[in-house]
Amino acid sequence: KPSGKKNTNPRTTRSSENQSSGAAMDPLAVLRDYAARGDLDKIIFNGDDVLFGDDYTFPANAPTAFTSKQSGRPYPLSAAVFLAQHNDLKHTDFLQAARLRRIPPVSLPDRKTFLDFLHFGDSSLPSAEPLLPSSFAQDAHPPPPPPPPENEEGEGPDADDASTAHVRALERPLKDRNAVLDARGRDFLAIYHAALRREEDRLRNKDAAPSATGRHEPSAAAAASLANPKLDKSLGDGFVPIILVPSASQTLITIYNVRDFLEDFVFVPSDEKMRAMKGSPKPECVTLQKKHVRGAGGPVAFEVRDKPASLKADDWARVVAVFVLGKEWQFKDWPFKGHVDIFNKVIGFFVRFEDDSVDSAKVVKQWNVKIISISKNKRHQDRPAALEVWDRLDEFVRARS
C-alpha cells in the first residue's frame, strides 16, 4: 500500500523530481511542513483521503509513526491532522468534535508529545525527534539493520561514526526525561508522618523517668494533690487549667487543630495543619481562650499539651480534661490508680466521625467519657459539637471548685 501519492488535479504543476519523491514521502513530515508554513487550513478531508492542498493525497486511515503511549498502537493520519488543525480547543471540546467527525481522538498524554513534534521548527522526519518512535514499517518486528561497512583499515572517524549509528538504530527508547521524573501516584506524606511519630516516641521516652520497677511512681506532692481534686483557685483568678490531647496522629483532635476546634468551632484535619506549618516544629503547648465561662468574670485561658510525661505535680493538679484515643497505652505512667480514678478526677472526651463503625468506640464505651460525634463533610455541625465540649467542661470545673 503506498504511503502517499501525487494529486492528479490538472491545475497542479510539479517538477518530475518532486513527483518521484512524493511516493515515499512520510505524511507526518508533510504535515509538519504545512504547519511550519501556516498552511494547515489547506489540508482537507475528502472521503477516505486527506488532501494536502494540490500537492499530496494520503489515505485518512494510514498508520503513522505517532503512537499511543497507553496502547502502543499508531494513530491514523486523520487523528494527527485533526489535532494539528484544532489544537486550540480545550481537550473536552476537542474530544467531542473528533467523535462528531468519527475521527479517533488523540489522548491527553499524547497531545503534548505530538504538538511538540509538530512545532519543533524543522522539517525532519519523526525519527529525528526523540519523543516519537522511529518505525514506520508495517512489520511489527523489523529485521535489524545490516552492520556498518568498514574501511580498508577498519578504523578511523568514519568507522566510529558508522558503529555509533548502527548501535542507535538497534535502540528502542522506553522512557524520556519527563517520564523518569514523573512521580504521580506516589504519596510521601506517610513517610513524613512516620518520621514525626518516631520523633515523638523518642522525646516521650526521653522525658519519662521510670522507677526501678519500670513504672512511673508519682511523687508525694503529686499524690497529695491528686488525692484532693478540689481546685484551689477559681477560673479567671490566674488559675490556668490544662487540657491533654493525644500525641498520636491518628486521632481527630491533636495539638495541631485543637485551637481551631475549641476556639473557632471548626474542625480542620491535623494533616492540613501540619502541611500549613511547612516544616515548623510542633508546639510544646497551645494556649486558647474560652470567652464565656459560667462562674468566671471574663475570658478564661486554657493550656493544651500532648506530653503527660513532662507534667510536674503542680501541673497534674491543673489537668481538667483529656481527649482520649481509645487505647490503653495512652494512660501509661499516669499518676492514677486506673480508669475509674482518672475519669473521676479528669473529664474525658472521645471525638469520632458520626459514620465510623461501632467498633471504633467499643473500648471507650467502657470508660466514663463523653463521646462527641462530628461530620466528615458538614462543617456547620462543628460548632454544636465544640459547644457541647465546653458545656460539659464548665459543669465539671464548677463541680471541682
pLDDT at site 261? 93
Average pLDDT over residues 50-68: 89
Does residue 129 register a pLDDT over 70?
no
End position of a domain, from candidates 120, 139, 162: 120
Does residue 267 register a pLDDT over 90?
yes
Q: Please, which pLDDT band fits residue 215 given cuts at 50, 70 and 90?
A: very low
For residue range 311-349, list pLDDT tens digits in order: 888 888 889 999 998 888 888 888 888 888 888 889 999
Q: Which residue has the cell 491533636?
A: 254
pLDDT at site 254? 92
pLDDT at site 165? 79
Average pLDDT over residues 357-385: 86
198 compared with 51, residue with greater pLDDT: 51
Residue 214 maps to a domain = no
Does residue 85 register a pLDDT over 50?
yes
pLDDT at site 184? 61
Domain total of the chain: 2
Does residue 307 register a pLDDT over 70?
yes
Could you tell me which residues come within 8 angstroms of residue 267 by beta carbon, excluding any fewer than 6 positions away? 252, 257, 260, 261, 374, 379, 382, 385
133 compared with 209, residue with greater pLDDT: 209
pLDDT at site 159? 63
DSSP of 127-155, one letter per residue?
GGSTTS-----S-SSPPPPPPPP--SSS-
**For 25-39, 49-63, 177-191, 247-261, which range has the lowest pLDDT when averaged over its residues?**
177-191
Average pLDDT over residues 258-283: 88
Average pLDDT over residues 200-214: 62
Residue 374 maps to a domain = yes
**Domain of 305, in residue numbers:** 242-399
Residue 47 maps to a domain = yes
144 compared with 270, residue with greater pLDDT: 270
Q: How far apart are CA 233 and CA 235, in angstroms?
A: 7
For residue range 277-302, list pLDDT tens digits in order: 887 888 888 888 886 555 555 678 89
Are 273 and 288 contacting, i.e. CB atoms less than 8 angstroms apart?
no
Residue 17 maps to a domain = no
Does residue 212 register a pLDDT over 50?
no
Does residue 131 register a pLDDT over 80?
no
pLDDT at site 213? 46
Q: How far apart are CA 235 and CA 396, in angstroms?
A: 12
pLDDT at site 7? 52
For residue range 144-161, list pLDDT tens digits in order: 555 555 554 555 556 677
Q: In the chain, how long is the greatest CA-to-CA distance?
A: 112
End position of a domain, from candidates 120, 143, 173: 120
Are residues 116 and 254 located together in one domain of the fold? no
Q: Please, which pLDDT band fits residue 121 given cuts at 50, 70 and 90?
A: very low
Does residue 119 register a pLDDT over 80?
no
End position of a domain, from candidates 100, 120, 140: 120
262: domain CATH number is 3.40.50.11990
> Which candidate, 146, 138, 129, 40, places its Cα nearest to that of 85?
40
pLDDT at site 154? 52
Q: What does pLDDT average to over the chain?
A: 75
Provide the percentage of residues in the chain whose pLDDT is more than 70. 69
Residue 15 maps to a domain = no
> Which candidate, 376, 348, 346, places its Cα nearest to that of 364?
348
Residue 10 maps to a domain = no
How many CB atoms neighbour CB 32 within 10 A? Answer: 24
pLDDT at site 81? 92
Could you tell me which residues come within 8 angstroms of residue 337 by beta carbon, excluding any fewer than 6 positions away? none
Are residues 115 and 250 located together in one domain of the fold? no
Q: Please, which pLDDT band fits residue 21 given cuts at 50, 70 and 90?
A: very low
Could you tell me which residues come within 8 angstroms of residue 5 by beta carbon, excluding any fewer than 6 positions away? 22, 23, 56, 57, 58
193 compared with 378, residue with greater pLDDT: 378
Q: Please, which pLDDT band fits residue 386 given cuts at 50, 70 and 90?
A: very high
Residue 148 maps to a domain = no
Residue 113 maps to a domain = yes
DSSP of 70-126, one letter per residue?
TT-PEEEHHHHHHHHHSTTS-HHHHHHHHHHTT-PPPPHHHHHHHHHHHTSSS---G
